């Protein structure tokens, strides 16, 4: 009985491991986009927003725009759904409005019309990057070159936290009383090469910055989404997607090309959307 029980335990353990490490299945690619940086799925309406830099990520050239693509097959519903932007990156919905980070401004857009309704200046910012919404309606935006996080609350955009301990923040995710940060690493996104970084936690009340887990460096991190107790995180430089647990341990899910940016995720459907900036595409995968 002991031998049979041990064998059964090994089989079950092996099955669990196989399930955890099964390769994601590619579903489709959305093509014809222009330097897509961030994708925000809206599953209730069957589409995703995609921010298009269409040029250099720090250049205020008026070329940037936001697209809508179908979640079912990746077909472009509206290429230039929202225009009048420079180099839009992160996206978030809050209080019935769509927000995007645009170099040194947080831009508010009407989801019904695609029209820009407000712009909030971030003085001194040079690379506003990801955007995340809190349960209280606050909107957080990272500046990956000045190691700063801003917060929009009560109609005012102000610095929320700053300092080298933020390790040049990129991806943001609000979870309970914490802001989870996917750090890029020093000296920031404008450098040819930056140190590998990890996930961080920032207390929303006390703004205390700590490592999530053991702080083992993973890469130059970009997008972050929650999947149960884990996080799905992209590494822009290496072109990889990882699953990172609360311990900080990273498991590689996908090895793509450089430019895997601010991904989106529909947890209920295990649907992962990865913007491929250098290829002008968004790729969709089913996680196993």
pLDDT for residue 3 is more than 90 = no
% pLDDT > 70, the chain: 93
CATH code for the part of the protein at 26-286: 2.120.10.30
Query: How many angstroms separate the CA atoms of 60 and 208, rounded?
Result: 33
Per-residue pLDDT, averaged over 57-77, amounts to: 97
> Closest Cα to residue 100, out of 144, 154, 60, 53?
53
Query: How many angstroms separate the CA atoms of 207 and 202, rounded?
Result: 5
% pLDDT > 90, the chain: 91
pLDDT of residue 190: 86
**Order of all β-strands in the sheet with 271-276:** 25-30, 281-286, 271-276, 264-266
Confidence band (pLDDT; 50, 70, 90) for 100? very high
43-56: pLDDT as tens digits: 999 999 999 999 99
User: Tokens for 86?
Assistant: 């420079």
C-alpha separations of 187 from 48, 132, 164, 167 in Å: 32, 23, 10, 8
pLDDT of residue 42: 98
Per-residue pLDDT, averaged over 216-243, amounts to: 98
Confidence band (pLDDT; 50, 70, 90) for 23? very high
Confidence band (pLDDT; 50, 70, 90) for 258? very high
């Amino acid at each position: 009985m002991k031998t049979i029980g041990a064998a059964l335990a090994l089989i079950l353990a092996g099955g669990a491991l196989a399930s955890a490490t099964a390769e994601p299945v590619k579903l489709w690619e959305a093509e014809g986009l222009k330097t897509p940086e961030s994708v925000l799925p809206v599953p209730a309406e069957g589409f995703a927003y995609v921010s298009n830099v269409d040029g250099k990520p720090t250049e205020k050239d008026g070329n940037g725009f936001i697209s809508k693509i179908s979640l079912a097959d990746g077909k472009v519903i509206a290429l230039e759904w929202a225009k009048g932007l420079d180099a839009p990156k992160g996206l978030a919905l809050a209080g019935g409005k769509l927000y995007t980070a645009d170099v040194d401004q947080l831009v508010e857009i009407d989801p019904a019309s695609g029209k820009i309704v407000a712009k909030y200046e971030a003085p001194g910012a040079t690379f506003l990057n990801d955007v995340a919404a809190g349960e209280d309606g606050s909107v957080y935006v990272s500046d990956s070159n000045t190691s700063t996080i801003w917060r929009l609350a009560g109609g005012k955009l102000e610095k929320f936290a700053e300092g080298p301990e933020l390790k040049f923040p990129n991806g943001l995710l609000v979870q309970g009383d914490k802001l989870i940060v996917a750090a890029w690493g020093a000296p920031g996104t404008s450098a040819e090469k930056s140190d590998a970084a990890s996930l961080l936690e920032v207390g929303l009340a006390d703004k205390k910055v700590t490592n999530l887990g053991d702080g083992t460096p993973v890469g130059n991190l970009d997008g972050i989404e929650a999947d149960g107790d884990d996080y799905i995180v992209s590494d822009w430089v290496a072109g990889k997607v990882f699953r990172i647990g609360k311990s900080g341990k990273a498991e590689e899910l996908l090895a793509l090309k450089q430019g895997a940016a601010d991904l989106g995720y529909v947890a209920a459907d295990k649907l992962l959307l990865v913007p491929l900036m250098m290829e002008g595409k968004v790729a969709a995968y089913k996680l196993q």
